[in-house]
Chains A and B, each alone.
Chain A
């Protein structure tokens, strides 16, 4: 494939040459990156805080495209599912949007009585120079709730920068609540977004182990929980990018230690629970954890065997938002018999890509910030049976006659935890083994081929 020259360094093939891959670069102009923007990153992380108002300050698009598109569930209030915008108009752009922002905040706070409000600045706000901080301070003073600016102008970087902005915003809440009565065996869950209710499953595991969950910071979140989150004994962080900085801040400020986990796949899920048990050095917790893992595996493994047999040797490609998730996916796909031949992410770090290169088979393509055309050519070249990605990748897979598993934030299936592993296997199986592929040309069908029906192609 002819790559755009400036993109060559962001692709690496394992096996031949020593590892070299440059990442964390701005997307190349005109390359149709699958990446989003700073705003997207902050919205992702803060979105599940369900009793806060999330007001997008800017023109309408940024707000409307993020209206209820994610599967993060709440067990109570659902303010997060509404799309609030200041919907700036031409005159606001000329004369400034501060007044409108202020009035919109008062209006929404009065209407919904939220526990806090987050105000997201989008690109244009950065340009017209609204003093969002001042407006937030003023409104907070008058309404007596925290009103927190999130500096998420899209052009200030990629999604990662948005994570930083979100972590800084949460930092303003943490440490302001009462922490009495919190158990010494207590954790905060960071970086799980409660898609399809996953965090409830994970919480239940921890509760079975005898560990108290103080705050689910990024899934089914509540302002009051966040405010007392510094009282937890440990931060358990999933997903490399999104909340790591918050964990770091909490360690520096409040001495709460943290480590990384992943809840995807048997190995990583069990490891996560054992790591937490280990941390507390309490034999009772450890014993309960062993028991839990044993019970779960006893019921799960026999069921998985069927899928493993059916999917043995099939080839898979992965392209996800953060590369940390990619690790779990590589292991998980192996567990059900599949070979991973391509792994990529929108925002991985060099270290992560290096480690990915180490755990994958020779010949595997590792790619940072792939664009749509690159993805198609990798899929074609590697003749894969399954592509794991998000919504934007799905039509690419389907046009190429390749099965697809949605592993992104829009999904409505639990894929985390032990039972999530089974769902994952089922979903992969359902797509890979469907009889519909018989009719696609990539899989050997010949009837009605283009050579027979000719659709005019401007490029020929």
Chain B
């Protein structure tokens, strides 16, 4: 079996998205915020469509709509005009400004433009947060994390030290689903613990039917809560592949808020770590309800383990998600044979080794910077039983006639992507049932017998 991935010049069917998309989604998790792309119109429109097709929610991403003359002489004037128009129309509390490849390349200095704007423009001004997101370095995940860090950098500690009592923690969950965030809130409330979750897309990207159309969807992390993140007793940060200047690290270095980094809690082992950490930070025991949920999950693992043992899986998507999924699959007896991502943190193999060393007899192949052409090519040799990842893997699953377990983003061929639960005991329970049933269904439909009892 080759241990080297094919190394092509061209990219076919990329397994990553571009940085400003990640930044826009992160900004959508802040209360009263409007994402704004400083670049040409097309990028914003494409990203909106891509995001809408997953969440089925309106998402307004404003754009400087630069045209040719701006590309030559600089886009500063349009940036200011755009910010003014967004302020007037949306009355946001915050505008999250991400650059695109175009403005990064022409070298617009957004930071000083914003300073100028501040001096030149009278009257109401929302908080402006700028994040630099050229897509020629990094993926949507770098965009996402950098946006969160920019927000924390600008706001945390703004109002000095706050007396938050003992029970407040920060959770930096990374890019998980609205359902995941809702569940995190529930867990915190059950302890009880006060948690500032940043970003919080649980309502903004999965909103309830409402009486009136809101220009900015209600929900998101309140700005006052972000400002007070410096006063929490600790931060929990999911994911290991982001750089050293993550928001958790920043809060630790600048304000001495203890930071615990852990993989996205997927599966029992990782979730145990998460609950232990919550328990330690709060000084409270793990609530009975969640212990019971864990108990049922163990019971389910036992009931169904034979259907899935030794099944080979290809896992793909964002690096941190791939790490979480791989840990989960390994602990239920599925054998990951290829872990692939379009990202290039340089840490993927090491992380996977860390979370699976004790269960997997043999490490899977792990490759960064992959696209679906390369994944498909390797799949021929690996003959997997399952694909685990977002919906863009469907053509491959169809080609191989194997089931695809849809997780993460985007889910463009099914409804309810925003409601997929990935994390915690409950997420593991749901994913586990999906994996088991996919294997049973495959066996059932492959058989001519027509079993109604499996």
Contact = CB atoms under 8 A, between A and B. Distances in A.
Interface of A: 4, 26-40, 55, 58-69, 82-90, 92-93, 100, 103-104, 107-108, 123-124, 126-128, 154-158, 372-373, 376, 380, 391-392, 394-396, 398-401, 439-442, 449-451, 453, 455-459
B134 interface: yes
Interface size class, chain B: 35 or more
A31 B11 contact: no
B249 to A, nearest CB: 24
Nearest to A457: B218
A441 B211 contact: yes
Contact of A64 (B18, B78, B83): B18
Contact of A30 (B59, B85, B208, B219): B85
B219 A455 contact: yes
Interface of B: 8-14, 16-18, 20-21, 31-32, 36, 39-50, 52-53, 56-68, 70-71, 78-79, 81-86, 88-91, 93, 100-102, 105-106, 134-137, 139, 203, 207-216, 218-220, 222, 342, 373, 392, 395
11 contacts: A30-B64, A31-B65, A32-B63, A33-B41, A35-B41, A55-B10, A65-B49, A67-B13, A83-B14, A380-B213, A456-B219
B209 A399 contact: yes
Contact of B88 (A4, A66, A372): A4
Contacts of B342: 60
B213 A32 contact: no
Contact of B18 (A61, A69, A372, A456): A61
Nearest to A128: B105
Contact of B85 (A28, A69, A400): A28
B10 A36 contact: no
Contacts of A372: 58, 60
Given A60-B11, A392-B48, 12 more contacts: A29-B78, A30-B82, A30-B85, A30-B89, A59-B135, A64-B18, A123-B71, A155-B66, A155-B102, A373-B60, A373-B89, A450-B211
The winner among A60, A87, A108, A156 for most chain B CB atoms within 10 A is A60
B13 A458 contact: no
Contacts of A158: 41
A441 B65 contact: no
Contacts of A391: 49, 52-53
A392 B10 contact: no
A64 B12 contact: no
A59 B81 contact: no
B372 to A, nearest CB: 9
Contact of A36 (B41, B56, B90, B209): B41
B42 A38 contact: yes
Nearest to A458: B32
Contacts of A89: 136-137
A82 to B, nearest CB: 6
A83 B105 CA distance: 24
B52 A395 contact: yes
A60 to B, nearest CB: 5
A82 B46 contact: no
Contact of A396 (B14, B58, B66, B70): B58
Max chain A C-beta neighbours (<10 A), residue from B8, B41, B56, B395: B41
A84 to B, nearest CB: 6
Nearest to A67: B13
Nearest to B58: A395
A459 B86 contact: no
B219 A104 contact: no
A60 B40 CA distance: 15
B31 A458 contact: yes
B43 A154 contact: yes
The 10 A-B pairs at the shortest CB distance, nearest first, are namely A37-B42, A61-B18, A30-B82, A29-B82, A30-B85, A458-B32, A104-B10, A65-B46, A87-B11, A154-B42
A127 B84 contact: no
